[in-house]
């Protein structure tokens, strides 16, 4: 360990420049005549696929020449060159960490294109302008034209890069009152079926997406979207479905499957099926509910004479959109099973899913050398899931001093809105109690709280009444609080994917954000492993005299290839 005299440096938020990828986009033409891999997974333990759902049991190939109605032209090849630079921090003197402006957008991932250039209809463009969305993000400008051309897609882009609008806007271009004018002969307003089903793994995320759709539809048409999240009153949801005849439903797998099984959700004519946080939806917990959803949504019975026998022909009717910041190979396999010639859409590239290999589900040419990455697909999924502007630190302390370290960390960074993660629900109350005893506004958020309790706490956190939200994995995915400027891991996440989703609650849409992992000495090797797997520097630090001090020499970072 370096001594105080030789190795203490000051962090002025930003000594380490973002490491990003060097990506080359294939110029290959889209694969329309393609080989489709139907399934190859273990039925009992593997991820959810057609095989695990009992629809297909063997690895199969099928050649299809079927063309989608519009051919997608891949964007011109582009190469982004980012250099990994580690600026030496000064070895003398100590400077204060700058006060953060949580809403300052440093490196927002906005694209060169405008919304009108993406082919969105005029009414939707008007709504976007009213809501203050003026420029699309990179992933939006790449994904929107692809989805508008009817392709099944897997959208992968880092946390907070705007994936929700990337799929909502093309859906709203085709569904509901903002859609494109129908071709002459079509009768507008006649359709009463549900046209889009959006599935999310948690109530909070479901409600967040639901509100985003409501907002875009505007006050006059907000009943055209219905939430079907668990924890809410089911009969009221069923009544609303009957009365309002929504075009879009957003919900959690359990509640959607439940209402569908009761015969009160008619989705056979559904055109869009979105699986948000798809890698989470593939987990064992959701297996039965997802089975029902995949079997029923967008499956028109009798629409195609081959349909009854041929699952591929039947599923041709719905467009699958799968989304996550982390895309392990299990998602790629699932996309091959459920989609028709699906495309992998990333911020600046589109490639056929067929070209994705198990060793590299997403472009891995960036942050770290491939040799330094584990071959584990889950680990690979975490690479490029982190916003490039995030800063990562870890601080070693004893278990009983963790809350105090958190308090000092919040003061040192002058953080206004903090999410602190722990692994077990039982410990959250105690942590909140200790923080409040030290004069810091804090609240706990977890699944055992009632629906009302959860939404009240989230509201208070969003409006600044609660400074520190102490929570568990429930809040790690999707939660969008723009003001959150600090994430603290009071306990280590289980793996790099979980680290990425937790970390992604801050630094959203190019804003500044800091992630501090508070750990005990024997856990430091896990932090080092996370650092290697994620390909980002995680610097050792201390909080002394109200300042964050980096305690790790540059040489150590160089050792891990950063």
Ligand X SMILES: Nc1ncnc2c1ncn2[C@@H]1O[C@H](COP(=O)(O)OP(=O)(O)OP(=O)(O)O)[C@@H](O)[C@H]1O
Find the shortest distance in angstroms from Cβ 360 to ligand X: 20
Find the shortest distance in angstroms from Cβ 520 to ligand X: 29
Closest CB to ligand X among residues 49, 385: 385
Tell me how many residues contact ligand X (CB under 6 A): 20
Q: Which residues pair with 16 in a beta bridge?
A: 86
> Rounded distance, CA 93 to CA 87, Å?
16
Closest CB to ligand X among residues 198, 540: 198
When binding is defined by CB under 6 A, the residue of 136, 176, 360, 535 that contacts ligand X is 136
Find the shortest distance in angstroms from Cβ 225 to ligand X: 16
Where b means 16+ CB within 10 Å and e means fewer, 125-160 reads bebbeeeebeebbbbbbbbbbbbbbebbbbbbbbbb
Closest CB to ligand X among residues 201, 246: 201
Find the shortest distance in angstroms from Cβ 463 to ligand X: 15
Closest CB to ligand X among residues 160, 254: 160
Find the shortest distance in angstroms from Cβ 131 to ligand X: 9
Pseudo-torsion of CA 411, 415, 417, 418, nearest 10°? -70
When binding is defined by CB under 6 A, the residue of 141, 161, 330, 472 that contacts ligand X is 161
Residue 285, token pair as written in the block: 């917990």
- The 3-class SS string of 272-299 reads EEEEECHHHHCCHHHHHHHHHHHHHCCC
- Contact in structure between 195 and 248 (CB atoms under 8 Å): yes
Question: Applying CB under 6 A, which part among 161-169, 407-415, 489-497, 534-542 lies near ligand X?
Answer: 161-169
Closest CB to ligand X among residues 226, 346: 346
When binding is defined by CB under 6 A, the residue of 23, 39, 52, 164 that contacts ligand X is 164
Find the shortest distance in angstroms from Cβ 423 to ligand X: 20
Question: Applying CB under 6 A, which part among 241-249, 369-377, 436-444, 502-510 lies near ligand X?
Answer: 502-510
Find the shortest distance in angstroms from Cβ 198 to ligand X: 12
DSSP character string of 474-540: GGTSS---TT--EEEESS--SSHHHHHHHHTTSSGGGB--EEEEEE-GGGHHHHHHHHHHHTS-EEE
Closest CB to ligand X among residues 15, 279: 279
Give the pairing of strands 391-396 and 538-544. parallel
Find the shortest distance in angstroms from Cβ 508 to ligand X: 5
Closest CB to ligand X among residues 415, 479: 479
Question: Applying CB under 6 A, which part among 156-164, 191-199, 405-413, 533-541 lies near ligand X?
Answer: 156-164
Kindly state whether residue 325 participates in binding ligand X, applying the rule CB under 6 A: yes
Question: Applying CB under 6 A, which part among 132-140, 143-151, 298-306, 489-497 lies near ligand X?
Answer: 132-140
When binding is defined by CB under 6 A, the residue of 18, 30, 102, 160 that contacts ligand X is 160
Query: What residues from 62 to 81 belong to the interface with ligand X (CB under 6 A)?
Result: none
Q: How buried is 2 (Cβ within 10 angstroms: 0-12 exposed, 13-18 middle, 19+ buried)?
A: middle
Find the shortest distance in angstroms from Cβ 279 to ligand X: 11
Closest CB to ligand X among residues 9, 158: 158
488 φ/ψ angles, rounded to the nearest 5 degrees: -120, 125
When binding is defined by CB under 6 A, the residue of 11, 51, 146, 165 that contacts ligand X is 165
> Rounded distance, CA 13 to CA 513, Å?
9
- Count other Cβ atoms within 10 Å, centred on residue 548: 25
Q: Count how many Cα atoms sit within 13 Å of the Cα of residue 242 in the half-sphere of its side chain.
A: 9
> Rounded distance, CA 314 to CA 342, Å?
16
Kindly state whether residue 504 participates in binding ligand X, applying the rule CB under 6 A: yes
Q: How many helices (H) and strands (E) does the chain have?
A: 18, 21
Closest CB to ligand X among residues 225, 541: 225
Kindly state whether residue 346 participates in binding ligand X, applying the rule CB under 6 A: no
Residue 358, token pair as written in the block: 């198990």
> Rounded distance, CA 467 to CA 435, Å?
10
Query: What residues from 458 to 497 belong to the interface with ligand X (CB under 6 A)?
Result: 478, 480, 482
Find the shortest distance in angstroms from Cβ 296 to ligand X: 26
Find the shortest distance in angstroms from Cβ 506 to ligand X: 10
DSSP character string of 383-435: TT-S-TT-EEEEEE--GGGHHHHHHHHHHHHT-SSEEEE-S-HHHHHHHHHHH
Q: How far is CA 74 from the centre of its chain?
A: 24
Kindly state whether residue 162 participates in binding ligand X, applying the rule CB under 6 A: yes
Closest CB to ligand X among residues 470, 503: 503
When binding is defined by CB under 6 A, the residue of 314, 315, 508, 512 that contacts ligand X is 508
Closest CB to ligand X among residues 34, 324: 324
DSSP character string of 347-372: TTEEEEGGG-BTTBSS--SSSS-GGG
Kindly state whether residue 159 participates in binding ligand X, applying the rule CB under 6 A: yes
- Return the residue matching tokens 């919304």: 115
- Contact in structure between 454 and 472 (CB atoms under 8 Å): no
Find the shortest distance in angstroms from Cβ 322 to ligand X: 13
Find the shortest distance in angstroms from Cβ 421 to ligand X: 14
Where on the chain is the footprint of ligand X (CB under 6 A)?
133, 135-137, 140, 157, 159-165, 325, 478, 480, 482, 504, 508-509
């Amino acid at each position: 360990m370096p001594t105080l005299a030789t190795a203490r440096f000051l962090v002025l938020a930003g000594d380490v420049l973002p490491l990003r990828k060097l990506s080359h986009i294939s110029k290959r033409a889209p694969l329309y005549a393609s080989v489709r891999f139907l399934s190859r997974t273990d039925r009992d333990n593997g991820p959810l696929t057609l095989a695990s759902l009992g629809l297909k049991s063997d690895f199969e190939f099928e050649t299809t020449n079927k063309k989608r109605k519009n051919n997608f032209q891949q964007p011109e090849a582009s190469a982004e060159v980012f250099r990994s630079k580690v600026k030496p921090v000064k070895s003398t003197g100590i400077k204060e960490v700058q006060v953060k402006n949580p809403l300052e957008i440093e490196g927002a991932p906005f694209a060169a294109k405008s919304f009108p250039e993406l082919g969105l209809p005029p009414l939707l463009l008007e709504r976007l302008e009213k809501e203050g969305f003026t420029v699309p993000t990179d992933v939006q400008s790449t994904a929107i034209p692809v989805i508008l051309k009817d392709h099944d897609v897997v959208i992968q882009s880092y946390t907070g890069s705007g994936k929700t609008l990337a799929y909502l806007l093309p859906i709203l271009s085709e569904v509901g009152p903002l859609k494109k004018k129908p071709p002459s002969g079509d009768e507008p307003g006649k359709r009463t079926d549900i046209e889009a089903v959006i599935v999310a793994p948690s109530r909070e995320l479901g409600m967040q997406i639901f509100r985003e759709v409501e907002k875009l539809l505007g006050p006059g048409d907000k009943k055209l979207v219905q939430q079907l999240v668990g924890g809410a009153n089911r009969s009221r949801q069923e009544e609303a479905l009957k009365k309002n005849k929504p075009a879009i439903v957003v919900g959690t797998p359990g509640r959607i499957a439940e209402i569908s099984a009761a015969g009160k959700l008619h989705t056979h004519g559904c055109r869009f099926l979105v699986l948000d946080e798809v890698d989470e939806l593939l987990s064992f917990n959701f297996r039965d509910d997802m089975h029902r959803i995949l079997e029923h949504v967008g499956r028109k019975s009798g629409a195609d004479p081959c349909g009854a026998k041929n699952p591929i022909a039947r599923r041709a009717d719905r467009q699958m959109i799968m989304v996550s910041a982390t895309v392990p190979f299990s998602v790629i396999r699932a996309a091959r099973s459920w989609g028709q010639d699906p495309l992998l859409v990333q911020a600046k590239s589109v490639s056929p899913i067929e070209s994705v290999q198990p060793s590299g589900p997403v472009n891995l040419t960036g942050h770290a050398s491939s040799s330094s990455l584990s071959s584990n697909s889950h680990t690979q999924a975490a690479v490029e899931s982190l916003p490039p502007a995030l800063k990562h630190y870890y601080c070693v302390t004893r278990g009983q001093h963790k809350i105090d370290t958190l308090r000092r960390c919040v003061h040192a960074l002058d953080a206004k809105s903090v999410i602190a993660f722990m692994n077990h629900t039982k410990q959250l109350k105690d942590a909140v109690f200790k923080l409040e005893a030290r004069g810091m506004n804090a609240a706990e958020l977890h699944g055992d709280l009632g629906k009302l309790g959860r939404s009240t706490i989230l509201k208070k956190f969003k409006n600044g009444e609660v400074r520190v939200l102490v929570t568990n994995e429930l809040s790690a995915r999707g939660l969008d609080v723009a003001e959150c400027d600090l994430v603290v891991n009071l306990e280590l996440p289980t793996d790099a994917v979980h680290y990425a989703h937790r970390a992604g609650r801050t630094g959203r849409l190019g804003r500044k954000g800091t992630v501090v992992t508070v750990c005990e000495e024997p856990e430091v090797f896990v932090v080092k492993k996370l650092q290697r797997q994620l390909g980002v520097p995680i610097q050792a630090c201390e909080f002394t005299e109200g300042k964050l001090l980096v305690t790790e020499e540059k040489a150590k970072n160089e050792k891990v290839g950063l």
